[in-house]
Structure 1
Amino acid sequence: MSLLEVDGISVSFDGFRAINNLSFTIEEPELRAVIGPNGAGKTTFMDIVTGKTRPDTGKVLWGEDNLNLIGRSESAIARAGVGRKFQKPTVFEDQSVRENLAMAIKGDRNPFAVLFGRRDDAARLTEIATEIGLFGRLGRKAGELSHGQKQWLEIGMLLAQEPRLLLVDEPAAGMTPEERTQTTDLLKRLATRHAVVVVEHDMDFVRRLDCRVTVLHEGRVLAEGSVDHVTQNPEVIDVYLGR
């Protein structure tokens, strides 16, 4: 089922066309990689979907009711089920892993619920911590984690919000080889239940994801298909892989 449809989106900044009649769809569940050279429009695409940037033309249709996300606030879009993880982890470093996840748990946020917690929240927290490989580190401060572990914690904080779509920006950057392998496995698992879009420069990491790839160039879709299909495309080789 199509969860997200980007339909004819265009946006310019000071005369520069950052997105040029961009259209494609994301299914649910699905794992999708979005690649392309610097300036291809990858970040702007995520900014538009999450409500940070409003396009000049086009629609972003969401869910079974084809709700148009254009013009809605970032918080409203997040509540609708769109989660975004930026390249640099943004966790509360002085708080424990448990406290970071607890603050992110979706549900009743009245002061008593946050202060005393709820039994179902505790079960959900344990489930998320296990999923992201940090159950054994729940009591540690987030600032003591490795770079890769902080990335997993932030993904866990997104999961706590119960998103249907996760937009993940360059998750492999700065990770050790072992962390990269674990991140690949995590994203693949999540994509069996969610729509997961990974924006990435590292082609080895993209190849290990073994998913459908969308190549952006000059704000439009240049090619789409399997990793082998897009990496053999002469235009992709010319504008991206050949550099």
Structure 2
Amino acid sequence: MTLLEVSGVSVSFDGFKAINNLSMQIGEPELRAVIGPNGAGKTTFMDIITGKTRPDEGRVIWGESSVSLLGMNESRIAQEGLGRKFQKPTVFEDQTVRENLAMALKNPRGPFSVLFYRKTAEGAERIEEIAREIGLTDHLTRKAGELSHGQKQWLEIGMLLAQDPRLLLVDEPAAGMTPAEREHTTDLLKRIAKTRAVVVVEHDMEFVRRLDCKVTVLHEGSVLAEGTLDHVTKNKDVIDVYLGR
């Protein structure tokens, strides 16, 4: 099933076309890597989907009911089920791993529910489940500030999973990780993508190769090539703009 459809989207900043007639479809479940040189439009693409940037033209259609995301603000889009992880992890350093996950759990956000929600058995069970999934079960009582860079990245992915998104946008997850952490991250993203859509924006070709998924190459704000990594890296245009530099 197509979960997200971006169709004919363009946006200019001061006369520069950051996104130029971009069209792309993401299925559910699916793991997709989006690659491209600096300035290819990768971040603007994420900004448009999540409501941070309004395009000048085009459509962004979401879900079975084909609703447009373009009229919605960022928090409404998040409620629709889009989660975004930025490059730099943003976790609550002074709180434990467990508390970080508890704060992120999808719960009614009324004034009283926030005070009382943490202690539910269901919530505690879900936290354990997410901790297992991200590989931080042994670190639940540690303060997030004590974690390694890679572990903070996993915690942030866990905090997004706690909100039960249908689509996860992950920006350069491999940056700054040790080889072992990168391997764990690959496995984690592949597992998550079995039940939902995961879009990974990445520079690192080796990391993308390990993801073993469909790749979309952006260049000057539009899709230059799409297919397996082997397929796109043999494409002459891709070699010229991306690998030849």
TM-score (norm. length: structure 2):
0.98
Q: Which residues of 2 match residues 134-213 of structure 1 at below 5 A?
A: 134-213=136-215
What CA RMSD, in Å, does the superposition of the two structures yield over aligned residues? 0.8
Shifted more, 183-192 versus 104-113: the winner is 104-113
Indicate the residue corresponding to 1:78 in structure 2: 78
- Residue 242 of structure 1 and its aligned partner are, at CA, apart by 1.5
| Superposition pairs of residues 6-45 of structure 1, within 5 angstroms | 6-45=6-45
Kindly state the Cα deviation for residue 111 of structure 1 after the two structures are TM-superposed.
4.4
* Distance in structure 1 (CA, Å) of the matches to 2:37 and 2:209: 17
Counterpart CA distance in 1 for 2:71 and 2:110 is 28
1:228 aligns with 2:234: no
2:93 matched residue in structure 1: 93
Which structure 1 segments of 5+ residues have no match? none
Residue 98 of structure 1 and its aligned partner are, at CA, apart by 0.5
Tell me the distance in 2 between the aligned counterparts of 1:111 and 1:98. 21
User: Aligned residues, how many?
Assistant: 243
Q: Distance between the aligned counterparts of 1:237 and 1:204, measured in 2?
A: 16
Return the letter of the residue paired with 2:33. A
116-125 vs 151-160, which moves further: 116-125
Structure 1 residue 109: deviation in Å?
2.7
Among candidates 121, 131, 141, match of residue 129 of structure 1: 131
1:18-56 deviation digits (Å, cap 9, x = unpaired): 000000100000000000000000000000000000000
Distance 1:157 1:41 in 2: 26
Aligned twin of 2:57: 57
Distance in 2, matches of 1:153 and 1:67, equals 31
Q: Give the Å deviation of 1:107.
A: 1.5
In structure 1, distance between residues paired with 2:56 and 2:66? 19
In 1, distance between residues paired with 2:58 and 2:111? 41
Return the alpha-carbon distance in structure 1 between the equivalents of residues 82 and 95 of structure 2: 25
- Partner-residue secondary structure (3-state), 1:237: helix
Residues 150-204 of structure 1: per-residue CA shift (max 9 Å, x gap): 0000000000111000000000000000000000000000000010000000000
Task: Report % sequence identity.
Answer: 77
Shift of 1:71: 2.2
Instruction: Work out the CA distance in 2 between the residues paired with 1:201 and 1:146.
Output: 22
After TM superposition, the structure 1 = structure 2 runs for residues 106-121 of structure 1, keeping only pairs within 5 Å, are 106-116=106-116, 117=118, 118-121=120-123
How far apart are the structure 2 equivalents of 1:48 and 1:11? 9
> Is 55-64 or 103-112 further displaced after alignment?
103-112
Distance 1:127 1:74 in 2: 28
User: Which amino acid counterpart does residue 98 of structure 2 have in structure 1?
Assistant: R
Structure 1: how far apart are the matches of 2:160 and 2:39?
27
**Letter matched to residue 31 of structure 1:** L
Q: Structure 1 runs of 4+ off > 4 angstroms?
A: none
Which residue identity is paired with 1:155?
I
Shift of residue 108, structure 1, vs aligned partner: 2.2
